[in-house]
Structure 1
């Protein structure tokens, strides 16, 4: 194969080479072919968790994405069919927070003022802002994944499946509306689920207070109460003691204090114990509240306020053993309030500020972001001024913050929709035990412990941009209706009118096959067309058509007149409407239809691209949508016939059903026309929530406008909440397939009589450690609740990639290199292999090091490229030889060489061992164990096999050809082993070890043997030779150990390896009777003989005595090395013979005398001459 300078430059630049290979994959549809090729082992199910497209990919995405790429590639090569479909997470607080920043909105109230519809429109447009960059970067990183047929959690089809899940769980009694104390983000003004809360804990220092509650019956005596949340004190409704604990009444100065005996150390002063009493003694005592804001308030159960109650949950190992109860701000508090019928005092609004009743602090945020102690200090100051503070102290603790906006959370009692996870707990734990977790500890402890303590899941959010909770409530009687599908909703929205859609009869332009898109075109109905229309009109008799709406074209008006006459309709029942005119096809008006079709690559492009002066199909859908919704509002109880054209009719149905382009194309079918000349189709139309393009949009406020009547006569409206985005992402397995509404051949968890479940559960998933309480959890809960079993069999959990200094990677600090800059420098493969070889793939942390990426490139990829360069050099030279034809050296990948040289046998044994190690690692999803042996093998291949085989390969004859064939076979097989890890380099290595380059084939998706390494089968392990191979590998390891010791002995004696020595004695007898291995030692150490001698004292004994003959031979070898360097400097290839000119000094020494033939052969020389004016000792010409 001829290599150009451009080729060499490309191969020296990994980024350029990778981009060329990426283009090859795209041009030849290699990914598509890998999906289309035979899959004898069946389906391997993989779920890909959806990322947000609101930012660019970072190292966390790249790491998880690489893991997700490796296993499907491996399984595909093993003979499985592995669909890989990309998805996008589109909803929730992450998106809302970004939009709020862009629009300078600070609160929920600001959003409502701005306008919900406007806000969600911005969110919808902005959620995919970086999608284009993702679609460039993810494939560039070497990932095979379908990003064209992606799923999006904001799509109506996805939401419909989420609705189905909600209704199904509701029918099982697993959904309920409850009022509980939960964590609330005051900035976002919504509650968070328990696993969302777990993601946002931060260490902060708060101020706690020991407050004095005076006993009504004993003025001057105080219950001493400790709290870390002084802001909750204005909402105090009761105090609680442990009825079984002992309490002390102590005197300090003029005051007395009541405190748990076990907490007496909390007192900071000398005290006198007055008496010891059980906790139950204080139950029923009245006390004076610290604040009088709610004294006399007209709240239910106020008669039970400001009393002491007994409660077993009161701990006496911290604080004072007396707890202040604020029913609206704590789970224990709320539960006690329900039990004892305490008043529900909620002195803080959902936005986290004190209500107006709290006069001294009204409007203040209770836990300000940036200074969470500020308001607590003001509360304490107020109490101190009234002598109601015993003392304060700082407390360092872990406090929950909003996982998206970093605002301190509040424990706040409010309503939410819940999934009864507590009822599923035992099943969840049991299913988790069946899952293979890598690392195991994550599933067993981190995830397992979380499951065992699982609480009911709050799945609703009081927000805006999210899938709407599908519950409608009657404003009159309170009856709730749960909707589980679009059809379910349609049934409650009865149609106002009946519609028929008809296309005009055959016209002149149809016969001529030309575009006629202007109303002034004189294209009339043909005789056949007239007959078609009359026949169609007859079929409409008896349908009760009262109104005809027609397009203003000659052919449609003629059609309308014929129909109206047959149906005997009056003139005033026929109305011309410009909106249902033919599509505007601009410059194609009057031209042949095929010319218009050729303007587009595919049907999808017609929705996005318009000819000059024309409109897109999206434009047609919009005007047809405006038409049908307007007509439906203007008429009621009518039967209406719409006479239009093919494309408008198609888009009328698309708009009426809220179809997105892909759905509309599928709905249209493969026929030449959507509706034939004079064909009549019934249009079932019910107004649906749509966006401005009349595509189904189930978001607020569109969905909120869908109301219907209740049996009681009241109006039923949707509740305002939206789903927790984790409920949506957890629905991914079924919602991405629009289950149970379509795609049942691809996804159906329910087995049939002769059918296994399809697409469920996943054989493999992978995400980061943070997803143990996110996607892994939500998916498991929904999978078990809906389908009765875990949704995945195996999970690979990666850890966190940190900055090199151990800190969290930060854009602000710029403490890490840009990922794509690293790819441009070192190539995607180097980055991939670096990550895959590290402990981060098994849940541990990794300090990212750019220098370590470079090291991987140099030690693995560059070293292997040097081996390949050597192979190609001699493969090309040998291919020119008349004695070496294709029969003597078959395609190196086609068969295993059968040779006798120990090195050839050893490297094949190591290859077999490598295949085994990598296969085992991948089968167990232990990617580091699979990736690391590759580097070791490349080291063995380069520094031992090739170095020891160079001279053999250079030499003529069978031995050299055998070594070259072995090297080619090993490289070709290695390319397959490396394919899942380093897909670009593996492709390069594979193609460079083929006898002929494959031609590009863009015409179809047929699998072409040898076209790509990613279409190859995974290498098989030769089990028959396993024992033999292990023995040889062990022996070679011993050889290398001895060589290492002997070379150390040489170094200590300060004798270069090029200087021959007489003999080496070896103590070990492990290599006895293995002369070929001893020969390797002899050559490696450069000695004349190797002897086994168990009597020597050390492991080896090296004879370092130099005879004149040995010295001369050493000088000769040094001369040959110099000549070889000169050849390299001149860029000479092995087959190019040169003339050596020696200096008079060298000639005088007689150094070369007697060895000229050997030197000629070794250094590829034609002849040797002696010169006078030679610079240095030697020159080549």
Structure 2
């Protein structure tokens, strides 16, 4: 067995383990070992193959990997297919930047074919980079068979889904305002908008528009001044109170609840209901514009609120979803004032040719000139931006393709009734989203994406939805072209024309599909839905999917909708979500913010296990923070475990215990051995349950507690059994217990910290048990380390440790070091106290450095009783003389105080000037007698006799001296079993007496083979403290 470093180089260790796994094909052997067993059906949410992964992306990958590893340890036949999201706007935006292109027109000029090829090259490059990063982080997947969403198989699977939707009448094309990115030149769906809002500051305006044939103007408000060019109506709440007021010489009408916007006191001239204003005609902002040639009227709308603005809403159905719905109800005109690039159209007159972001001052100045501006102001609000290029979005009236959701919604809600969500609150979010989600906008005006298989015949009006390549070939004007397609992306697919029943030749529509169609079809494209129904049914639905909580509205939603359409079922049995990874200050990770950390770079700095450990220890229900201060803390915890292992390694490498051929009998176990067996068995049982319940953070919590118990209880109290035991069988039993504890720990923890566990498995387990599995992942999840249970041991151990903890606190409070032995400790407690003291007496005395340990029934003999004033009772009787009573009581000596206690017990007390006071005016108190300290904790009373005689003091000095010598041995880097020479020069008679009295013990403890007068060339020479004295020590070989 190779002796280990005290402080390991985790990074070097991990790279050696990676090579070991690869050289020995450990992953392949695990797959083969579990093949044909109970299936663990996993579906990976595809990672965007567009950039290298930041460390914040690896919370999810850690959770997935540890879950699959756990199930593999349980013997289940797991699915290991990784996924890559391989097309869509995220790739396009980066290729535009790379090529120096700015928007759709320049892409088209560059060439869609070359642009698509560039996108594919980027995807392949970063898929390879992400694979290397993931392998470095210890993630075990079938990396040679990852799925990609840009494959013909994935695309045609979506075609099939869309055809099924069309058969049921769910594919529709309609006009409506959609969130639109003017830079990318495409719309965004509702679920793409999730998480895209941020606080921004815009210029808002209050306008005042004259009402025809009335003496007042209506005050309205908008935060998007460019939309005033598309105004078609003003809306009021019919049930609100509105007032006419005189303001700066003109009459204005606004909601009574919003008078404060005028910023001064005004006289109310008239009050009326909103319904009284409905139907009045007004002059719009810019009546001369081409599209404004119609009557503008005030309309009723119960969506108008009084929280902001003026209670009068400017309505532009071509620029907002809610306005559009109102316009549909009231048959209002629809005006779209912008083009795809967010540039104002010619029809907007003085605004034409300018971007929406550049017209604010023009609008404000024109309104002011026409006396229609009340005032403009800066306004902070939550506003959406493009989730890829971060450009502020606008709402644009477009013609787009949708999947109607109303008939699918109840099917989806029914399907998720039996789906388990982790954390539980995620299910409510999904239900809320399903209940409120509108129709799914599936079309995008872009290039590199799913080519929607829609062919519209302008002659007969028929929509043809192609459901497969075979169907495309069957309907194609030139079928041979289908076979020659390099792939079915634009522009190649656009060359394929089909023939309508009416004889017309049709071209595919230009739009591509929403990227969430790409990811949502993966249960069908990756699980052989179209080619092997038996395989599909055996692997659908997935047992487990895991992604960030925002995917409830994105991937989990698209998976559900597409699965319900195709099978009527949910595609998953369990959804696990996790929150956001923030930096140490609570900020989001961004390259632009300078705080982005690439995952493999972090692994090569602090270690992948440290990173995985930090993630596994965090509850997915809450945001977590990541930074190097936090990884330092995680590393410290891993080092605690490493120290347990190296303790065993250090002594076992000297003794070479034959544990493969040794198993203790029940009578061989000490009480601490029995505790260790029980606590490890409990840890294994609990960890099994926590893993199954997706609570790795509880596994980590219990692991840390167990490691602390091993270090500070078992090893501490059994150290001499490993080194100085005269009983060979007892020594072997101690080795056996600690070895099996470590072995169980690494088998439980390998899903979380696979590198460290593999290293220990190879250097410890495989050295002791040559026939063990070649890799820890092939060893299976552990069971009990001993067949017999030791009932009551855990409970009694807790009592013993509570007693020791209380005694240690008493020592600390009284500044008595543990090296200083004490004569006696007395304990009283519950019914198990005597058995605890019998079982753990030797450990308690050794740990606390106590000579004698006694159980007592009560602590009265260690206390003196005395009286204090019961201020509540005495105050009612003595009034102002209470303080006088307290003073006279405090002035008594011990003998007088004891006489008062005797009086108290008889019913009356005489103190100084106070005669025959009733005992109820006093409290009977206790205080420890001289030389005793007492504490009451956890149902136990602990008493320490702290009186020190000369013998105890000298023994304390001896222990302090030995500890100092052990520190010197370590500083001098002597091996643990190396025998050395020493010379001592004492500072006074007391130190000399101690050294003389304990000489043999000192030599035995410190492995001094000979004490000589002086060492000419010592390895180390230092002063060692011994109470108030010291000794000059020289150590040498």
TM-score (norm 1): 0.75
Separation in structure 2 between the aligned mates of residue 215 and residue 1152 of structure 1, nearest angstrom: 108
Separation in structure 2 between the aligned mates of residue 38 and residue 710 of structure 1, nearest angstrom: 52
Report whether the alignment pairs 1:701 with 2:491: yes
Separation in structure 1 between the aligned mates of residue 277 and residue 964 of structure 2, nearest angstrom: 101
Separation in structure 1 between the aligned mates of residue 629 and residue 236 of structure 2, nearest angstrom: 61
* 1:846 paired residue number: 624
Separation in structure 2 between the aligned mates of residue 760 and residue 241 of structure 1, nearest angstrom: 53
Match of 1:84, SS? Answer: coil
Separation in structure 2 between the aligned mates of residue 1177 and residue 351 of structure 1, nearest angstrom: 84
5 Å matches for 1:233-632? 233-252=228-247, 255-268=250-263, 271=266, 273-294=268-289, 305-315=295-305, 318-366=308-356, 368=357, 374-444=358-428, 446-493=429-476
Match of 1:358, SS? Answer: helix
Alignment match of 2:817 (pick from 1034, 1053, 1056): 1056
Deviation at 1:254, TM superposition (A): 5.3
Structure 1, 1058-1067 or 17-26: larger mean CA deviation: 1058-1067
- The answer to whether the 8 Å contact 1:689/1:706 transfers is no
Match of 2:143, SS? Answer: strand
Separation in structure 2 between the aligned mates of residue 888 and residue 51 of structure 1, nearest angstrom: 49
Separation in structure 2 between the aligned mates of residue 282 and residue 255 of structure 1, nearest angstrom: 18
Report whether the alignment pairs 1:13 with 2:20: no
Deviation at 1:923, TM superposition (A): 1.4
TM-aligned CA distance change 1:1149 to 1:230, over 3 Å: closer
* 1:92 paired residue number: 88
TM-aligned CA distance change 1:1145 to 1:309, over 3 Å: closer
- The answer to whether the 8 Å contact 1:474/1:714 transfers is yes
* 1:889 paired residue number: 662
* 2:869 paired residue number: none
TM-aligned CA distance change 1:289 to 1:822, over 3 Å: closer
Separation in structure 2 between the aligned mates of residue 1102 and residue 359 of structure 1, nearest angstrom: 95
TM-aligned CA distance change 1:885 to 1:761, over 3 Å: closer
Report whether the alignment pairs 1:42 with 2:26: no
Match of 1:718, SS? Answer: coil
CA RMSD of aligned residues (A): 3.0
Match of 1:472, SS? Answer: strand
Report whether the alignment pairs 1:716 with 2:506: yes
Deviation at 1:267, TM superposition (A): 4.1
Separation in structure 1 between the aligned mates of residue 520 and residue 667 of structure 2, nearest angstrom: 54
Deviation at 1:817, TM superposition (A): 5.2
Alignment match of 2:701 (pick from 926, 932, 936): 932
Deviation at 1:253, TM superposition (A): 5.9
Match of 2:795, SS? Answer: helix
Separation in structure 2 between the aligned mates of residue 77 and residue 1044 of structure 1, nearest angstrom: 38
* 1:1034 paired residue number: 795
Separation in structure 1 between the aligned mates of residue 732 and residue 391 of structure 2, nearest angstrom: 71
- The answer to whether the 8 Å contact 1:45/1:760 transfers is yes
* 1:1015 paired residue number: 778
- The answer to whether the 8 Å contact 1:293/1:357 transfers is no
Separation in structure 1 between the aligned mates of residue 658 and residue 842 of structure 2, nearest angstrom: 31
Deviation at 1:85, TM superposition (A): 0.9
Alignment match of 2:575 (pick from 782, 795, 798): 795
TM-aligned CA distance change 1:717 to 1:1059, over 3 Å: same
Separation in structure 2 between the aligned mates of residue 209 and residue 350 of structure 1, nearest angstrom: 25
- Cα deviation code 1:726-773 (max 9, x no counterpart): 121122221233x43324443x2xxxxxxxx32222211111232222
- The answer to whether the 8 Å contact 1:836/1:931 transfers is yes
* 2:119 paired residue number: 123
Match of 1:85, SS? Answer: coil
- The answer to whether the 8 Å contact 1:1143/1:1170 transfers is no
* 2:192 paired residue number: 196
Separation in structure 2 between the aligned mates of residue 878 and residue 286 of structure 1, nearest angstrom: 101
TM-aligned CA distance change 1:329 to 1:816, over 3 Å: closer
TM-aligned CA distance change 1:813 to 1:206, over 3 Å: closer
Separation in structure 1 between the aligned mates of residue 593 and residue 432 of structure 2, nearest angstrom: 35
Report whether the alignment pairs 1:1043 with 2:821: no
Separation in structure 1 between the aligned mates of residue 89 and residue 311 of structure 2, nearest angstrom: 39
- The answer to whether the 8 Å contact 2:618/2:624 transfers is yes
Separation in structure 2 between the aligned mates of residue 780 and residue 1136 of structure 1, nearest angstrom: 68
Deviation at 1:152, TM superposition (A): 0.6
Alignment match of 2:839 (pick from 1076, 1092, 1101): 1076
- The answer to whether the 8 Å contact 1:897/1:965 transfers is no
**What stretches of structure 2 of length at least 5 have no aligned partner?**
864-933, 936-941, 1019-1031
Deviation at 1:25, TM superposition (A): 0.7
Deviation at 1:464, TM superposition (A): 0.7
- The answer to whether the 8 Å contact 2:660/2:768 transfers is no
Structure 1, 225-234 or 90-99: larger mean CA deviation: 225-234
- The answer to whether the 8 Å contact 1:248/1:277 transfers is yes
* 1:31 paired residue number: 27
- The answer to whether the 8 Å contact 2:477/2:499 transfers is no
- Cα deviation code 1:948-977 (max 9, x no counterpart): 111011124211111011111111111101
Deviation at 1:1150, TM superposition (A): 6.4
* 1:971 paired residue number: 742
Per residue, is there more strand in 1 or in 2? 2
TM-aligned CA distance change 1:1062 to 1:784, over 3 Å: same
Match of 1:993, SS? Answer: helix
- The answer to whether the 8 Å contact 2:658/2:768 transfers is no
TM-score (norm 2): 0.85
Separation in structure 1 between the aligned mates of residue 526 and residue 490 of structure 2, nearest angstrom: 21
5 Å matches for 1:996-1145? 996=767, 1009-1020=772-783, 1028=790, 1031-1069=792-830, 1070-1074=832-836, 1075-1093=838-856, 1094-1095=858-859, 1096=862, 1098-1099=934-935, 1100-1121=942-963, 1124-1125=966-967, 1128=970
* 2:542 paired residue number: 762
* 2:558 paired residue number: 778
- Cα deviation code 1:226-269 (max 9, x no counterpart): 22222111112233334454544444465433334444454456
TM-aligned CA distance change 1:1169 to 1:360, over 3 Å: closer
Deviation at 1:429, TM superposition (A): 3.3
- Cα deviation code 1:1037-1057 (max 9, x no counterpart): 232232233223333444432
Structure 1, 281-290 or 1155-1164: larger mean CA deviation: 1155-1164
* 1:169 paired residue number: 165
- The answer to whether the 8 Å contact 2:385/2:392 transfers is yes
- The answer to whether the 8 Å contact 2:684/2:744 transfers is no
